[in-house]
Amino acid sequence: MFNVEDVRRDFPILDTEVYPGVPLVYLDSAASSQKPTSVIAAMDDYYIHYHANIHRGVHRLSELATSAYELARQKVARFINAPTTEEVVFVGNATEAFNLVAYSWGRTNIGPGDEILLTEMEHHANIVPWQILAREKGATIRYLPIRDDGTLLVERLDEFLNKRTRLFSFTGVSNVLGTINPVTELVEAAHAVGALAMVDAAQTAPHMSIDVQALNCDFLAFSSHKMCGPTGIGVLYGKRELLEAMPPFLGGGDMIRRVTLEGFTTNDLPWKFEAGTPRIAEAIGLGAAVDYLNHLGIDAVHAHEQTITQYALESLSEVPGLSLLGPPGSLHGGLASFTLGGVHPHDIAEVLDKKGIAIRAGHHCAMPLHQKLGIPASARASFYVHTTFEEVDQLTAALHHTRSVFRLN
């Protein structure tokens, strides 16, 4: 285990006072994590010392920038144990990764009568691109249900996976419920009926180890900004044979090998899917974020979060009128979503903000899940490498205060 106080010194924003004399308690990492100094410094170093466009330049700055950009790809490949860097595509975010697969693989391989299986706990990014595709192609989307405790009804997979299923796309960890899903089991079930499997790892990659070879998933997506890296960049992992067979997503510079007035030939992987000037500084920042998480040890990160989350679930359960969402602690990722009496989550978040506590409130880009739960919205506190027991205590005390503000019995 790492020393949390040492880790906190790596995040300069944690010294912020939200209001005069009110220090920041940041419990919104599931939405976007804060950035350690090393990530900020790596991006500053690029802009100050060797900013240039990449891949096509032969001057020294371009060569340095190209090396740094591709080194970041190597770091990401090792981080998820991808067999080759050619299977690591830089995209804008996880949402773009889903759209890329839906547009490129989906429009080539999905037709009338085909089925796409999702789950009831998915983020909109893993619903809407498939809805667009299904409407266009005459396909059907089905949803694997969840239990009352927020876990998937995996024993009903046989009812939802069949010879018409072409893709099973699901989250590794729910961004609302915190549910840690049995990814390997779900991938194997998809492959057993001849379907592909895509994993939403946006809430997985920042918090626990990923081995795409062991998982044997066909596609996997995650975002940099949730794992100590910058906004504006994410990762699509895809098996090489699939990516090679897929047409380009966007057209333009860097994704081409040759262009004539009559047509074009695409570049090699992964640049085939990286049209235009890429996200150079962001990739370098993501590489630095991977270095930082590797320095802490991703298993230590997960262990710390499990300890904090269990403590938070126990503490919050003692707040009268508070209802926690999701499964027990052993199956729960690093967040706690809840409702409090009849108080709207936005009102809860506003009261907490005056105490310097940043949480999320709303549907968390998971409206169908909230409809399933029978609630319009929820409040969510999410934890990360810098979260302390004292901050959880401050959250709990602030929720008791919220009860008094709204005069809850």
What DSSP element (H or E) covers 69?
Answer: helix 60-79
pLDDT value at 197 more than 80: yes
For residue range 213-265, list pLDDT tens digits in order. 999 999 999 999 999 999 999 999 999 999 999 999 999 888 888 988 988 98
Q: For residues 318 and 304, what is the distance between their CA atoms, to the nearest angstrom?
A: 22
**Amino acid 57: pLDDT:** 84
DSSP code of 214?
Answer: H
189, 217 contact by CB (below 8 A):
no
Instruction: State both tokens at 32.
Output: 């976007």
Q: How far is CA 203 from CA 75, 135, 366, in A?
A: 19, 28, 14
Give the CA angle between residues 321, 325, 364 to the nearest 5°. Answer: 110
CA atoms within 13 A on the CB side of 316: 27
Q: Nearest CA to 287 among 201, 227, 202? A: 227
Question: How confident is the model over 270-278, as a mean pLDDT?
Answer: 94
354, 19 contact by CB (below 8 A):
yes
- Strand duo 360-362 + 88-91: pairing: unpaired
**Amino acid 257: pLDDT:** 85
**Amino acid 328: pLDDT:** 83
Q: For residues 304 and 6, what is the distance between their CA atoms, to the nearest angstrom?
A: 14
Beta bridge partners of 142: 117
Q: For residues 330 and 337, what is the distance between their CA atoms, to the nearest angstrom?
A: 16
Lowest mean pLDDT, pick from 5-9, 104-108, 326-330: 326-330
What DSSP element (H or E) covers 167?
Answer: strand 165-171
**Amino acid 205: pLDDT:** 98
Q: For residues 265 and 230, what is the distance between their CA atoms, to the nearest angstrom?
A: 32
Q: For residues 296 and 3, what is the distance between their CA atoms, to the nearest angstrom?
A: 9
What DSSP element (H or E) covers 221?
Answer: strand 219-223
Task: Please name each of the domains of the chain with its CATH number.
Answer: 4-30+298-405 (3.90.1150.10), 41-294 (3.40.640.10)
Q: For residues 373 and 363, what is the distance between their CA atoms, to the nearest angstrom?
A: 11
Q: Return the C-alpha torsion angle 52, 54, 59, 64, nearest 10.
A: 80
- Active site residues per annotation: 365
pLDDT value at 329 more than 80: no
Q: Nearest CA to 197 among 158, 154, 242, 156? A: 242
77, 219 contact by CB (below 8 A):
no
Q: For residues 199 and 220, what is the distance between their CA atoms, to the nearest angstrom?
A: 5
pLDDT-above-70 percentage for the chain: 100
Q: Nearest CA to 280 among 38, 53, 41? A: 53
For residue range 131-179, list pLDDT tens digits in order. 999 999 999 999 999 999 999 999 999 999 999 999 999 999 999 999 9
pLDDT value at 53 more than 90: yes
Average pLDDT of the residues of the chain = 96
Q: For residues 139 and 170, what is the distance between their CA atoms, to the nearest angstrom?
A: 18
What DSSP element (H or E) covers 257?
Answer: strand 256-259
178, 337 contact by CB (below 8 A):
yes
Return all residues near 275 (Cβ < 8 A) that are at least 6 apart.
Answer: 248, 249, 250, 251, 252, 253, 254, 255
**Amino acid 399: pLDDT:** 98
Helical H segments across 94-197, by residue range? 94-101, 107-109, 128-137, 157-160, 183-192
Q: Nearest CA to 288 among 89, 68, 54? A: 68
Instruction: State both tokens at 391.
Output: 């901050």
- pTM score above 0.85: yes
* Cα torsion 395, 396, 397, 398: sign: positive
pLDDT value at 321 more than 80: yes
Q: For residues 261 and 126, what is the distance between their CA atoms, to the nearest angstrom?
A: 37
Amino acid of residue 116: I
Q: What is the 3-state secondary structure (H, E, C) of 351-379?
A: HHHHCCEECEEECCCCHHHHHHHCCCCEE
pLDDT value at 267 more than 90: no
**Amino acid 222: pLDDT:** 98
Return all residues near 399 (Cβ < 8 A) that are at least 6 apart.
Answer: 316, 319, 322, 340, 348, 352
pLDDT value at 409 more than 80: no
